[in-house]
Chains A and B, each alone.
Chain A
Amino acid sequence: MTTGPTYEIAIIGGGIMGCATALRVAAGGMSAIVLDQGDLGQGASGVNAGTLSLQIKRVKLMPYALKGHHCWEEMGDTVGFAKTGGYTLAFNAREAEMLHERQTLKSNAGAPIEFVSNNQLRAAEPNLTHKVEAASFCPEDGYANSSLTGQYYRGKLRDAGIPYREGCAVTAIDQGDGFTLTTPQGPIRANRILLAAGAWLKPLAALLDVDLPVNARVNTVSVTERLQPLMSSVIGHATGLLTMKQKANGTVLIGGGWQGRGTPQDGRGTVDADTVRPNLALAQYAVPALSAARVTRSWTGFEANVPDFYPLAGALPGVPDAFVLGCVRGGYTIGPYISQLMGDHILGREPEMPLFDPGRDFEKDTI
């Protein structure tokens, strides 16, 4: 019935992880194809706030985040990378205590985080509020432009001769003598598959009768019109409820994990004004001059996670030659690096750092 080539691997999901793994396995000599239900890099990879901050990474993921930062630095201008340094702020005693406790642990894990005085902070960021109780600084922090993810990986896949199909949702997966994927653009055959569909991993794995306990957070990001320079580094908040940076073009990007509505299965998420408003208020509290800036857009992206908030990276339980990669907390930062590890694993090589068994018990912290 089927025609066309049989690929050594079909990768379902054309975000950072799907595309970067494709590049890694192809560099190792494996023939790959990347499929995405929409356009490349239009899911979480392309709509997140682009923050590259070691200060908000999980302690046990710090070695991966440090490697991730190097990947982004190498991608450089093509992804709008900027290493600006970043400040995390506490506005009261309770937050200051939390900041000290958490940043000390992250510093011990290898992130070059230091605590700074109010005078240092004001000299560096004169437009910040004076109501700061404590602040930490990490010179490694910065951002990249997540909007450029699709453009970047389209070019990389083309240069590497890796085919990709956009608007190509996989609706069924048949096993037996490899995999046959049903898509609107005809069947696609492959000897292996990698599921890298982000928040859509759960329905995708269900096609193989595997129940992955994937949940989706609906993170909201807002952006202003172009403004005069107001801040030169990434600004965060001890609670994680604010991330903010001013891009080279003058726009200010405001995030912090405030929750919108909707589920991946329903299609796209919806911004909830009741959560956007406190997010904007917190941004204005940190930088009062933002008050007059016009907000031009707010949007949401689905951030996938499992109950222990560690990645899924390894063999799909119970399905030989099927792999899964996703649910990486800090996935934008760590994505390009963990995809290299995943690619090496698929190629049968020993990865430089351990992967995260998707078959583990998610209720126990066994990582």
Chain B
Amino acid sequence: MSDLNDIAVVGAGPAGGNAALVAAQSGARVVMLDEQPAPGGQVWRGKTASILLAPVTPETTAGNGLRSALSESAATHLADTRVWDILRNGDHWSLQILRNGATEQITCRSLILATGAREYVQPIPGWTTPGVIGLAGATSLFKQTLSLPGKRTVVSGTGPLVFFVASEIRRLGGEVAAVITPNTRADWARATPSMIGQPKLLARGALWMADLILARVPILWGHAVSEVEGRDHVTGIKTINLKRGVAGLSFATDSLCLGNGLIAQIEAAQMLGAAIRYDPSLGGWVPVADPDGATKVDGLYLCGDGCGIRGAAAAALQGTLAGARAARDLGFSAPSPPVRPWQRAERFGRAMTALSIPHADAHALTTQDTIVCRCESLSRRDISTEITTGATSTNAVKSGKRAGMGPCGGKYCQTAIAALIAEQTDKSTSDVPPPTPRPPLRPVPLGQAAGDFDYDDLPIPKPAPL
């Protein structure tokens, strides 16, 4: 593993998988690293062997296409592999990876990050009760194991994902108690012009809606879940009509899927020196990269949702652009794919992201006693007090209260905390960047990070001056 690769690709979703494919086709020596057992990422996630006979979705088909192309490709795929640190060493990159319970080092001349997205859940009273699951998290359950979140589920959140999740629950035999979305029908009408260019996706959305309407599933437009009931497990939820600010219907349920859009996973790009900017229509803070993935950092390329939430279709196209660009920059003869198809896909993706970002008043749903940082059990009141007493950056709140110092490293809480800082200090959200990212990119067991160790080999420097 110590041999120098031409290109390492981090992530094997639609973006990373296609980047690895096109780069390997150009003759470059490519290694692709991914945490999952099979390529496909979150959206094109593969099914476990036990359910291969389950009904096929367009995601399964697209994922199977990618998986089969990769299996025939010269690109090396390291599955079940966690990248925990990346560092520039002279003319190449060194990646610390965790595989089979031990740290190995991989080196490459150029690096393509396709780190994808995570979901944002706006904290509301009771959101940490067992039985509450993320909207995107629920799709992972469906795709990989055909599991359902419960017997009777309320599905709540923004953008198209809420309708996809509700229709999937029904298709897999579950009951949907209600669909609750902060978006209004007018929001969707405004987004329609951007959707015309992707008729297949538009048609699928129409099918999800038709299914829910025929099944008489209540759909509450312009509403949000305001409270989760139940002590040890979800027993019901309350809603609020966002426009009128009054309580809406309540529902008995044993589970709740809750999500407020996706956030780009930018920590690795940030750590390597990529500049970041704030763009709500791409999900918030995103690294600066060209359409073909090139950045101002030598040998660093970015593609897919990790550099802005544009959806799987755009990610796949940008993966090809970035893989080809990285290969060409190293002197391999790779094609120069047209940018137009990506631009069309990104227009649709941005429109969906705009529908998915948290509602302007969403943080009003986070009451003073609601847990905001779940690793450290910090309430909104804890965070707000720290801001009132002078902590006006995410780093300062992190230092003062440990919000972001738990195992999640701030991935759950920082969006909500930045919104609170902006609100309380009269700043724009674009003036409240996320805290300084720190390695490891994911928690690593100390013994596995340290590796084999012979005490006598310990490099002992000159002792400190007496």
Residues of A near B398 (CB, < 8 A) are 147
Q: Return the contact of B399 from the options A151, A281, A309 (Cβ within 8 A).
A: A151
Residues on the B chain within 8 Å of A41, using CB: 399
Tell me whether A357 is interfacial, beta carbon within 8 Å: no
**B446 touching A224, Cβ below 8 Å:** yes
Partner-contacting stretch, out of A205-213, A292-300, A316-324, A346-354: A292-300
- A56-B464 in contact (CB<8A): yes
Q: Is the Cβ of A154 less than 8 Å from the Cβ of B389? A: yes
Contacting A at CB under 8 A, from B422-466, are 436, 438-440, 443-447, 449-451, 453, 455, 458-461, 463-466
A296 contacts B406, C-beta separation under 8 Å: yes
A281–B103 Cα gap in the complex (Å)?
13
CB distance from A155 to the nearest CB of B (A): 6
Question: Of the candidates A58, A59, A268, A284, which one forms a contact with B446 in the assembled complex, judged by CB atoms under 8 Å apart?
Answer: A284
In the complex, what residues of A have CB within 8 A of residue B389's CB? 151, 154-155, 158
Interface residue? A359 (CB, 8 A): no
Chain A 316-348 per-residue mask, 1 if CB under 8 angstroms from chain B, else 0: 000000000000010000000000000000000
* Contact across chains for B443 and A148 when beta carbons are under 8 A apart: no
- Residue of B103, B439, B459, B461 contacting most chain A CB atoms (<10 Å): B439
- CB-defined contacts of A296 to chain B, threshold 8 Å: 405-407, 409, 440, 443
Instruction: Say whether, besides A56-B464, A148-B400, A294 and B87 are in contact (CB < 8 Å).
Output: no
| Residues of B contacting A240 in the complex (Cβ-Cβ under 8 angstroms) | 463-464
A75 to chain B, nearest CB (A): 15
Q: Within A250-307, which residues are at the interface with B (CB < 8 Å)? A: 257, 261, 268, 270-273, 276-278, 280-285, 290-299
Please tell me if the beta carbons of A282 and B396 are within 8 angstroms of each other in the complex: no
Interface size in chain A (residues, C-beta < 8 A): 58
Task: Indicate if the CB atoms of A285 and B455 lie closer than 8 Å.
Answer: yes
Total contacting residues, chain B, CB less than 8 A: 44
Most buried by B among A42, A276, A297: A297
Within 8 A of A (CB), among B373-392: 386, 389-392
Which secondary structure dominates where chain B touches chain A? loop
Nearest CB of chain A from residue B418's CB, rounded to whole Å: 15
Question: B392 to chain A: which residues have CB within 8 Å?
Answer: 39, 166
- Tell me the complex Cα distance, A293–B448, Å: 10
Q: A284-B447, A292-B446, A295-B446 are in contact. List 6 more A-B contacts (CB 8 A).
A: A41-B399, A42-B396, A42-B399, A148-B400, A284-B446, A299-B436
Check A292–B445 contact: CB distance below 8 A.
yes
Whether the pair A276, B449 counts as a contact (CB closer than 8 A) is yes
Q: Which A residues between 214 and 252 are near B, CB-CB below 8 angstroms?
A: 223-225, 239-241, 249
* A46 in contact (CB, < 8 A): yes
- Which residue of chain A lies nearest to B95 when distances are taken between CB atoms in the complex? A273
Q: Determine the distance from Cα of A272 to Cα of B271 in the docked complex, in whole angstroms.
A: 12
Option from B396, B443, B447, B466 in Cβ contact (under 8 Å) with A225 = B443
Once A147-B402, A271-B438 are accepted as A-B contacts, the answer to whether A98 and B443 lie under 8 Å apart by CB is: no
Q: Does A13 contact B (CB under 8 A)?
A: no
Given contacts A281-B451, A285-B453, contact A273 B87 (CB under 8 A): yes
Contact (Cβ within 8 A) A39 B395: yes
Residues 286-328 (chain B) with a chain A CB within 8 angstroms:
none
User: A86: shortest Cβ distance to chain B, in Å?
Assistant: 16
Q: Would B407 and A294 count as touching, CB distance under 8 A?
A: yes
With the chains together, A166 CA to B453 CA distance in Å? 44
* Interchain nearest-CB distance for B262 vs A (Å): 24
A291 touches B458 (CB 8 A): no
Question: Residues of A contacting B386 with CB < 8 Å?
Answer: 151
A294/B399 contact (C-beta < 8 A), A150-B391, A277-B451, A278-B458 known: no
What's the Cα separation between A147 and B87 when bound, in Å? 26
CB-CB under 8 A from A295, the residues of chain B are 440, 443-446, 449
Residues of A within 8 A of B395 (CB): 38-39, 42
Q: Hey, which chain B residues are within 8 Å of A150, CB to CB?
A: 391, 396, 399-400
> Nearest chain A CB to B459's CB is how many angstroms away?
7
A270 near B87 with CB under 8 A, answer yes
Interface contact B399-A148, CB-CB below 8 Å: yes
Chain B contacts for A299, CB-based, 8 A: 436, 438
Interfacial chain B residues near A40, Cβ < 8 Å? 396
> Contact at A293–B445, with CB atoms within 8 Å?
yes
> B459 contacts which chain A residues (CB < 8 A)?
278
Asked if B96 CB lies within 8 Å of chain A CBs, one says yes
Would you give the shortest CB distance from A60 to chain B, in whole angstroms? 9
Residues of the B chain whose Cβ atoms lie less than 8 Å from the Cβ of A282: 453, 458
Which chain A residue shows the least CB distance to B85?
A273
For residue B414, CB closer than 8 A to chain A, the reply is no
Q: Does A102 contact B (CB under 8 A)?
A: yes
Interface residues of B in 48-104 (CB under 8 A from A): 85, 87, 94, 96, 103
Whether B356 sits at the interface, judged by CB under 8 Å, is no
29 A-B pairs, CB-CB below 8 angstroms?
A56-B464, A58-B465, A147-B398, A147-B405, A148-B400, A150-B391, A150-B399, A151-B389, A151-B390, A155-B389, A155-B390, A224-B446, A240-B463, A241-B458, A272-B87, A273-B439, A277-B103, A278-B453, A278-B459, A280-B446, A281-B450, A282-B458, A283-B450, A284-B450, A293-B446, A294-B446, A295-B446, A296-B407, A297-B409
Cβ of B438 to closest chain A Cβ, rounded Å: 4
Is A356's beta carbon under 8 Å from chain B?
no
B139 contacts the other chain (CB 8 A): no
Residues of A within 8 A of B87 (CB): 261, 270-273
